[in-house]
Structure 1
Amino acid sequence: MINLKASMRKTAGLGTLAVLFVSLLAGCSGSANPADSSNGAKASTAPAATESVSTAEPATGGTFVYGRPASVTSFDLHNQITSNNAFAIDKVFESLVAFDSKGEITDQLAASHTISEDGLTYTFVLRDGLKFSNGTPVTPEDAVFSLQRHLKVGGPLAISAKVDAVKAQDEKTLVITLKEPYTPFISELSNFSNGILPNNFGGVTEEEFFKKPVGTGPFVIETWDPAGDVTFTKNTNYWKEGQPYIDKLVYKLIQDDSQAINQLKAGAVNAVEALSLQNAGEIKDGADTTVVTNGSWVTEQLFFNTLDKHFSDVHVRRALALALDRDGLTKALTFGYAQTATSLLPSTIPYNANDKIKALSFDPAAAKAELAKSAFPDGFSTKLLVASGNSTRAQEAQIIQAAGQAIGIKIEIESVELATFRERFFAYDFAAMLNSGQADSPEANSILAFQTDPEGFSKSYWTHYTNEKVTKLLYEGQKTADGEGRATIYTELLQTLADEVPYIPLYYPDILIGARSSVDGLVVLPNGSIRLEDVRLAK
């Protein structure tokens, strides 16, 4: 699968520039598989999410205006992956199952689902009375069409399971059979890209359909400017009776972070997406504003191009990992809204093994000794690629530069605009870069597949890191049922990554949304999206 989730924010903030997903908005081999009693998956340990709670009496009706740093350019759920589109698509389309703010899989359009003991047969029973926004009933044939179209298109979040058949069993039941077990499958189905659309696009062309899409989600597009704002109206046929409570939803394009903050404080918007960490304190303490937060599935990282002559040397990578004070970097830059990373997987993702992994901790003497073992014992000069316009990343780069200097590695910081940044790392035109890896749901495979599979779309997140042992463990983890055996596989895999450091995990940032105090019921999801069907605006 492809995955690039990038926001166009012009000023600081974590996870707002080039946040790459992994397996389901993130990877090449799968996505999430959290707590589901049907297959024994482990529950997420995500911190409790906070909801916006107004002190005024909430009401129904009104317009919720959401400031976002990038416009919505497409609603084609099978061909998109960036957050600007994903978090609009998920307001129009819904999948059979979903994940909640705690990272647990729940039934959505399905009233129930079961998974056979051999892990090959998935049976979904649709809810009674389901309708699309145009009033037509939702049938299993619609789900068959939607999933088969996704299988045919592939797209950036292609279904990675080896699907044998997708069939309507009766007027309410859908059955999916796999050719071989694939444990992350149920969580992959929770992704926005597996939303259900009408059979045969409801009788119109593909092009016509995605200009004015019909789905089961809480909102319907009223007006849409691909270079500007989107206005949604409530779906009067929504299956959650009486919801959404608001009448309209406006995605307002605000590309400048300071403008977004000013508009929030002035009440011109009800909330802003991806609040930067350095602004969180001001908004939290504001008279009429608050911060709504949740733990995230993001890992901020320093990536190495293992095709580069310097960073192909494991001792060089290990030396930099030992030279870098990750705790100090996290405390200095994240204002208490992040945890220092000890492994590739955030602590909110099952099987993260963060209490077991022995990471290369800050040790300048050991760093120099490690570099002495390399082919470049006297040091060398290199470059660090960074997307411009993100002050947090700029400061990260400076800290990394200083750490390298301390052991004889001279690092030149290359700051380029976002489009060029993407082009450069897609073409392996970098030695090292700063970026973020993000899962779409709390499934270990979602990040691991995207960042360790040398044959996958991203070639191990464009590091081209190749380790036959790691690849073998990755595939074993995908087929192994949840439990101790799977945990053992991922612990071994993660320890190998910690030892060979094709990327250095820096920290796990929280998801932060700035909101007016008058907003009630806003739910932040750990993938960065928000749920709005429960939102009410104070009278």
Structure 2
Amino acid sequence: MRKQFKAIRAAVAAVAAAAAALSLAACSQSGGRTTDGTVSGARTTFTYARAASVTSMNLWTEITSNNAFAIDKVFEPLVSFDTHGRIIDWLAKSHTISKDGLTYTFTLRDGLKFSDGTDVTAADAVFSIERHQAEKDAALPLTADIASVTAPDEHTVEIRLNSAYTPLLAELANFSNGIVPKDFGGKSESAFFEHPVGTGPFVVSKWDKSGDLTFTKNEHYWQKGKPGISKLVYKTVEDGTQAVNQLKTGEVDGIESPALENLDELENGADTKVETTGSWVTHTFFLNTADEHLSDVHVRRALAYALDRGDVTKAVSFGHAVTAKTVLPKGIEYSTQDSIKPVDDDLAKAKKELAQSKYPDGFEAKILLASGNNAYAQAAQLLQSAAKKIGVTLDIDSVDIATFRSRFKAYDYQIMINSAQADYPDADSIISFQADPDGFSKSYWTSYSNPEVTKELREAQVTPDGDARADLYAKIQQTLADDVPYIPLYSPQIVKAVRKDVTGLEVLPNDSVRFQDVKLG
């Protein structure tokens, strides 16, 4: 009997100990309230799964999202845009534009500091804009005819133009127009970008260019009390399925690019949710017009007519995208999504176009594809199947994302599937990037050139907003649809998947996010 009583007492003690341990564990996970009202032990590190590593922080030469959406956490521009694409003052507390459209004046916020604690002055902004102008390899160049950039005083920046340029204010909201310290704070340019100093909410702390990047909180950030997290970790997870699994188990707090096929599951998950906004993104087949086969407009039109883009959208978007009929997403002003006449889904016309080409009996080509993206793989297979119906054989060349990027930038492809996104809220952001043969990307690495389109896009850049500008962009979009240097496929919702205890994530229509209001648990 004594032994039985001892056994019962031991069991009760074990249960009590287990309960106490469980209680302590719960406190350590959710945090306890301290005497000053703050939460002790609360999670303050946000881990974000991304498909590709950050390889450069140079805001003037980079364009791909893996780098751009890290750069914009460190560097900030004078003006920015909100979730609806409206221009808002950012480092500038106000701005004015002269009636003739030739003088832009920005007044800096009071007390601005760089992440190293030094003051931000107008001279820093002048240096940054002029350095951007001088960059021969600028990815998103300032193309306005700028006469001068000056600092009348330490809080005022003045940009004078030789001729009006309508997209300038929107262009200045781009990440590539972030402000850096004058003369790189006394460092060489290369050394500066290895350990960048900016005004953004985060500072680069640990950086593996083939792996993860860790940001820490900028203690001098101008938005008082922000960011609410102490660390932001960009974790490289190339496989989309693996990223979803890590989100479910809590190994990551968010996914930058969740596959559309997983959205319903994540939206209704026990511990997960999704955050969305409107889209400036169009997923697209790009055709290398320098290729011997694809230089023939009839070949390009044949492929476009052979493909049913509606079928592609249904197959890959799971109801979370709209079929794209134009290169300009509907979320950008002057899109002709609802009125354009696309070259699409007509097998008889596809065969007729191919018969008029240099290759009436068909040919062989390859679709370059970044591995790990199931939606892109499905779209490539659908184009492959459609092309077969007109006697064209397309093989799929699936490579890792680093190889994919290096190859298409070297024009080493025939057809590729990629995303095209506006970097700022103006039609010029997409049109000039995808149709300007003299631009940084030479028409998004397609080598496409049409003198009439070039003339119209130049005219649209200097035409004030209104009907005349709308007409120019309507003409451009129809010509691009007819010439088919690319086949727009679908514009998805901009979606990020996060754990349910994440609040304050601001999703932007260019596919980036702001983390400064994020809180965990």
TM-score normalised by structure 1 residue count: 0.84
Give 2:519's aligned residue: 536
Quote the offset at 1:283 in angstroms.
1.3
Determine which of 416, 438, 441 is the counterpart of 2:399. Answer: 416
2:149 counterpart SS class: strand
Alpha carbons of structure 1 residues 259 and 373: separation in structure 2 relative to 1, 3 Å: closer
- Distance of 1:262 and 1:378 partners within structure 2: 47
Preserved contact between residue 61 and residue 245 of structure 1 (Cα < 8 Å):
no
Q: Give the unaligned 5+ runs of structure 2.
A: 1-32
Alpha carbons of structure 1 residues 519 and 312: separation in structure 2 relative to 1, 3 Å: same
Determine which of 508, 512, 515 is the counterpart of 2:495. Answer: 512
Alpha carbons of structure 1 residues 231 and 319: separation in structure 2 relative to 1, 3 Å: closer
2:257 counterpart SS class: coil
Q: Give the unaligned 5+ runs of structure 1.
A: 1-56
Quote the offset at 1:61 in angstroms.
7.0
2:196 counterpart SS class: coil
**Structure 1 residue identity aligned to 2:382:** I
2:169 counterpart SS class: helix
Aligned residues: 482
- Distance of 1:228 and 1:518 partners within structure 2: 26
| Alpha-carbon displacement from aligned partner over 1:407-448 (angstroms, at most 9, x marks no partner) | 222323333343443444334343322222222122111111
- Distance of 1:304 and 1:221 partners within structure 2: 37
Determine which of 63, 73, 76 is the counterpart of 1:81. Answer: 63
Quote the offset at 1:287 in angstroms.
0.1
Give 1:389's aligned residue: 372
| Alpha-carbon displacement from aligned partner over 1:107-140 (angstroms, at most 9, x marks no partner) | 0000111112222211101112222223322211
1:425 and 2:398 aligned: no
- Give % identity: 57
- Distance of 1:70 and 1:387 partners within structure 2: 11
Alpha carbons of structure 1 residues 269 and 418: separation in structure 2 relative to 1, 3 Å: closer
**Structure 2 residue identity aligned to 1:268:** E
Give 2:123's aligned residue: 141
- Listed as ranges, the matches of 1:130-529 within 5 Å are 130-154=112-136, 155-529=138-512
Quote the offset at 1:340 in angstroms.
0.1
| Alpha-carbon displacement from aligned partner over 1:371-413 (angstroms, at most 9, x marks no partner) | 3333433433333332333222221111111111222223233
2:264 counterpart SS class: helix
- Distance of 1:418 and 1:136 partners within structure 2: 38
**Structure 2 residue identity aligned to 1:79:** T
- Distance of 2:403 and 2:230 partners within structure 1: 40
- Distance of 1:180 and 1:384 partners within structure 2: 43
1:407 counterpart SS class: coil
**Structure 1 residue identity aligned to 2:321:** A
RMSD in angstroms over aligned alpha carbons? 2.2
Preserved contact between residue 47 and residue 252 of structure 2 (Cα < 8 Å):
yes
Preserved contact between residue 276 and residue 512 of structure 1 (Cα < 8 Å):
no
Quote the offset at 1:295 in angstroms.
2.5
Give 1:45's aligned residue: none
- Distance of 1:459 and 1:237 partners within structure 2: 40
- Distance of 1:247 and 1:459 partners within structure 2: 41
Alpha carbons of structure 1 residues 462 and 93: separation in structure 2 relative to 1, 3 Å: closer
1:169 counterpart SS class: strand
Give 1:62's aligned residue: 44
Alpha carbons of structure 1 residues 404 and 209: separation in structure 2 relative to 1, 3 Å: closer
| Alpha-carbon displacement from aligned partner over 1:173-215 (angstroms, at most 9, x marks no partner) | 1101122222111111111121112222233443443333222
- Distance of 2:361 and 2:391 partners within structure 1: 7
**Structure 1 residue identity aligned to 2:288:** N
2:232 counterpart SS class: strand
- Distance of 1:148 and 1:307 partners within structure 2: 34
The higher relative CO (CA closer than 8 Å, separation ≥ 6) is in 1
Alpha carbons of structure 1 residues 226 and 114: separation in structure 2 relative to 1, 3 Å: same
Alpha carbons of structure 1 residues 381 and 203: separation in structure 2 relative to 1, 3 Å: closer
**Structure 2 residue identity aligned to 1:117:** K
2:153 counterpart SS class: coil
